[in-house]
Amino acid sequence: MNRRIALRHLALISGGLVLIPSCDFSSDDILAAYQNLKVTASQKSLLGVISDTIIPAGEIKGALNLEVPDFILVMVNDCFTKDNQEKFTAGLASFPVYVQETAGKMFESLSTKEKEELILTGTKLEGDDTAEGKARGNISYFLNSTKRLTIQGYMASEYIQTEIIPYSLIPGEYNGAVLITDLQKPHING
Amino acid sequence: MANLNIRSNQERTYQAIVIGSGISGAWAAKELCDLGVKTLMLERGKNVEHIKDYPTTNMLPYEFEHRGQVPQKIKEENPVVSRCYAFREDAMHFFVKDTEHPYVQEKPFDWIRGYQVGGKSLLWARQVQRWSDFDFEGPARDGFAVDWPIRYKDIEKWYSHVEKFAGVSGNKDGLATLPDGEFLPGYELNVVEKYFAEQLKKNYGNDRHLISARCAHINGNLDFFAQQGRAKCQNRNLCQRGCPFGGYFSSNSSTIPWALKTGNLTLRPDAVVHSIIYDEEKEKATGVRIVDRLTKETEEFYAEVIFLNAAALNSNLILMNSTSNRFPNGLGNDSGVLGKFVAFHNYRAGVSAEYEGHSEYTTSGGRPTSGYFPRFRNVYKQETDFLRGYAAGFSAGRGVRTNSEGIGMELKNNLLNPSEYGPWYVGSHMMGETIPKESNYVALDPNLKDEWGIPQLKINVEYDDNDEKMIKDYIEQMSEMFTKAGFTNIRTRDDKRAPGLDIHEMGGVRMGKDPKTSMLNGNHQLHAVPNVYVTDGASMTSTSTQNPSLTYMAFAARAAHHAVAESKK
């Protein structure tokens, strides 16, 4: 929440971006909100497309509607070890290259089905000690972390926990022997 | 350090001073105030007012930026407290960070602390099982430590006294090892826990039991608790945040506001106690020297009687730092046992499994407790190759399978429409009695000081052979009980955690009959300085297996009444 407010302020001041001249991303802008990661605006938007593929919008909102990419980057930035942050960002950085090599296109221009298949395959990649193996391992690490955090950020969002599967701070009296057949729907929140 | 004792001595004089506002200190203060004694309660941490200072208490899961997880930087800077199960995003502001009050680990020891008004009573697990004479007679029967100077009959009515006021829910189980108390209606075991209880009866006769653990939660007698401003437990299971209903007992919700209402209590937060002042002419303690947590200024307070309830190891530290010509080795330490014979509870092992039976059932709602498996080893006589025994927590539960297979609409449907129940999961953890030994001790570091100029505590505590044998026995026995009950996929663990993480450290200022081998008499007075009472975990002669807080509360109430009776002599 504090971070969201800070982000909002930052957005007002700088349009959300801090311009960092030169280096590898000369034409791209590194997002200052995730200070432990050198993530660019276009990488965040790619992460948005990936999370939207993992949980797409429909009648019920999807991951992108719920700002899940921001949640993912906050968690990686604040809660991952340095090693894992490096694997994650390396995987994120090499993902476009991997997509080009395997699909011959940019990820954004693939069909939904192609995107899904590519992510599923990517989560199963196995790494080894060679340079290519490390890259594969990083991509797989990046995609699995993204899937896990997408699910977490989505299911533990205000929208899901108020409108779809309401969470209750007060779960009610304990009943230690409820017949499952008497329940309409499994109760997962609270 | 500036010494700004500007106010007159009279202004800084009370009838009693209580050091510490945690579970035992606040009980001492409440009893003293109820008896008309003008009492000053010193607390080293900040004030935490009931409800007002529970910033996370009504936060929803999605309102936590990291959904409960502690950020990596905090974990790396504070490895000790980060190992505590309750150190999570919702309650981490109630724990002492490693960096805030360093100590010296001669051997690994996870010292978990809560420096604020209310202390760890905000954070405790709220399990309150009485001791019996099988516990008090342990050291004498088995030849370790020293004999307790008291027995169950000395403490029984004080257990009742504190249970009635604190609110303890439980069932009359009729077990000799775990005496019944003044109970509000108990919580029920669920269908699989009841099944396990029946299996224990069937397989082990009347030797092994599973009961619903007695817990300090309000589940009845609501008009009585309304006088404390407390209401029925709502089964939120968010206790560590502080409860806006006062549904569980804490100093903050119960004893402190009660004591303040009498008009006899003065609460002084941010008062880091440096030492207890001993007057060599009067041959008694006359006051307490503090260092203000924030300004670092020293100040003295005076009183006829002093209660030391700084939590087990800090009570040791304060006595060791209270030196004088008469007591060069720490206040009341003629025997040389101060700081020694520290013990704890052995929580290292656990056994879990699955159960395919009762698959037509699940549970609903919440409850603030779980199952409790009282000690069965060596109760009536010595029967194993290790001394004493262990109790265990036990609970069964059933979750809905999270199906995170697939991707896209398939995954979304799986997540939003969970339908498949997993098997029942059953889990148990041991709570082993450890044997107090001279070689398990705390001492003052000769060189290192904390930011208030007080020596750092050096901790030298470790497991022994008896503990290792007990872990082995617990794992074998619980696995056998699970197997006989038809549980499957049994998994055992010994997480090798350091002592301290049980948060049941005890001793160092032990009670005993003989001043040559103990610090306190049967009334919790220092043998050599009878106007100083120690009624927290430091006073424990042995540890038993039961969660100790209830016994500290009863000790504090009993000692407070003793002190008032003495003052009238």
Shortest distance between the Cα of A183 and any Cα of chain B, in A, equals 10
In this structure, of A23-32, B61-70, B368-377, B487-496, the range with the lowest mean pLDDT score is: A23-32
Least confident piece of the model among B4-13, B230-239, B426-435 = B4-13
Q: For residue B167, which of B244, B239, B240, B250 has the smallest C-alpha distance?
A: B250
Q: What is the mean pLDDT of residues B110-129?
A: 98
Flag the least confident range among A54-68, A172-186, B423-437: A172-186
A170-to-B14, B254, B295, B463, B537 alpha-carbon distances in Å: 44, 22, 42, 41, 34
- The SS3 assignment for B473 reads helix
Between the alpha carbon of residue B349 and those of residues B285, B325, B386, B469, B491, the distances in Å are 44, 47, 16, 12, 11
CA-closest candidate to residue B26, choices B165, B151, B148, B160: B165
Is B60's Cβ below 8 Å from some Cβ in A?
yes
Tell the residue number behind the tokens 């975990």, with chain if given. B537
The predicted pLDDT at position A5 comes to 47
CB contact under 8 A, B364 and A1: no
Q: Does B61 touch chain A (CB under 8 A)?
A: yes
Mean local confidence (pLDDT), A32-51: 95
Give the pLDDT band of residue A1 (cuts 50, 70, 90).
very low
One-letter amino acid for residue B427 of the chain: G
Does A94 or A24 have the greater pLDDT score?
A94
Nearest chain B alpha carbon to A83: B72
Secondary structure (3-state) at B351: strand
Query: Which band of pLDDT confidence, cut at 50, 70 and 90, is reported for residue B401?
Result: confident
What's the CA gap between B461 and B437, in Å, rounded? 9
Task: Write down the pLDDT at residue A41.
Answer: 95
Percent of chain A topping pLDDT 70: 83
Structure tokens that stand for B303 in this block: 């009183």
Element (H, E) at B41: strand B39-42
Chain A contacts in chain B segment 170-189 (CB below 8 A): 187-189
Residues of A in contact with B72 (CB under 8 A): 78-81
Contacts of B493 (CB under 8 A, 6+ apart): B349, B350, B351, B352
Q: Per-residue pLDDT for A17 more than 60?
A: no
Q: Among B411, B417, B420, B426, which would you mutate to test the A interface (most chain A Cβ atoms within 10 Å of its Cβ)?
A: B411
Other CB atoms within a 10 A radius of the CB of residue A5 amount to 9
Distance CA B246, CA A108 (A): 54
| A12, A14, A17, A21: CA torsion to nearest 10 | 180
Mean pLDDT score of chain B: 97
Q: How far apart are CA B529 and CA B538, in angstroms?
A: 16
- Those of residues 113-142 in B touching chain A at CB distance below 8 A are none
A 10 A CB-CB count for B2 gives 8
Question: What are B532-557's pLDDT values in tens digits?
Answer: 999 999 999 999 999 999 999 999 99
- Complex ipTM, two decimals? 0.92
Please determine, for residue A25, whether its predicted confidence score (pLDDT) is greater than 50: no
Is residue B418 predicted with pLDDT exceeding 90? no
Number of Cβ pairs < 8 A linking chain A and chain B: 132
Q: What is the mean pLDDT of residues B48-70?
A: 98
Nearest chain A residue to B411, by CA: A55
Read off the pLDDT of residues B125-140 as tens digits, 9 standing for 90 and up: 999 999 999 999 999 9
Band of pLDDT at residue B274, cut at 50, 70 and 90: very high
Tell me whether residues B404 and A178 touch, CB distance under 8 A. Answer: no
**Which of A1, A147, A179 is nearest residue B361 as measured by Cβ atoms?**
A179
Question: For the segment A85-137, what is each residue's pLDDT rounded down to a tens digit?
Answer: 999 999 999 999 999 999 999 999 999 999 999 999 999 999 899 988 999 99
Tokens of B87: 């150190």
pLDDT tens digits, B439-461: 999 999 999 999 999 999 999 99
Question: What pLDDT shows up at residue A189?
Answer: 58
Question: Tell me, what's the pLDDT at A28?
Answer: 75
What is residue B3's predicted lDDT score, i.e. its pLDDT? Answer: 52
The answer to whether the CB atoms of A171 and B365 lie below 8 A apart is yes
Contacts of A147 in chain B (CB under 8 A): 404, 407
B236 touching chain A per CB within 8 A = yes
Is residue A21's pLDDT more than 50? no
Nearest C-alpha of chain A: how many angstroms from B172?
A: 19
What's the confidence (pLDDT) of residue A31? 92
| pTM, rounded to two decimals | 0.94
Nearest to B372 by CA among B349, B393, B396: B393
Say how many C-beta atoms besides its own lie within 10 A of residue B252's C-beta.
Answer: 27
Question: Chain A partners of B79 at a C-beta cutoff of 8 Å?
Answer: none
Query: The tokens 């955690």 sit on which residue?
Result: B497
Chain A contact set for B360 (CB, 8 A): 179-181
The rounded percent of chain B whose pLDDT value lies above 90 is 96
Partner A, chain B 311-370, Cβ-Cβ below 8 Å: 360-367
B284-311 burial, b for 16+ CB within 10 Å, e for fewer? bbbbbbbbbbeeeebbbbbbbbbbbbbb
**Residue B313 in tokens:** 């190891």
pLDDT in tens, B236-247: 999 999 999 999
Could you give the CA distance from residue B567 to residue B569 in angstroms, rounded to a whole number? Answer: 6
Under an 8 A CB cutoff, do A180 and B362 touch?
A: yes
Residues of B (238-257) whose Cβ lies below 8 Å from A: 238
pLDDT digits (tens, 9 = 90+) for A149-185: 999 999 999 999 999 999 999 999 999 999 999 887 6
CA distance B118 to B291: 19
Give the model confidence (pLDDT) of B150-193 as tens digits: 999 999 999 999 999 999 999 999 999 999 999 999 999 999 99
pLDDT value at B25 more than 70: yes
Tell me the C-alpha distance between B237 and B268, whole Å. Answer: 31
The answer to whether A156 contacts B364, with C-beta atoms less than 8 Å apart, is no
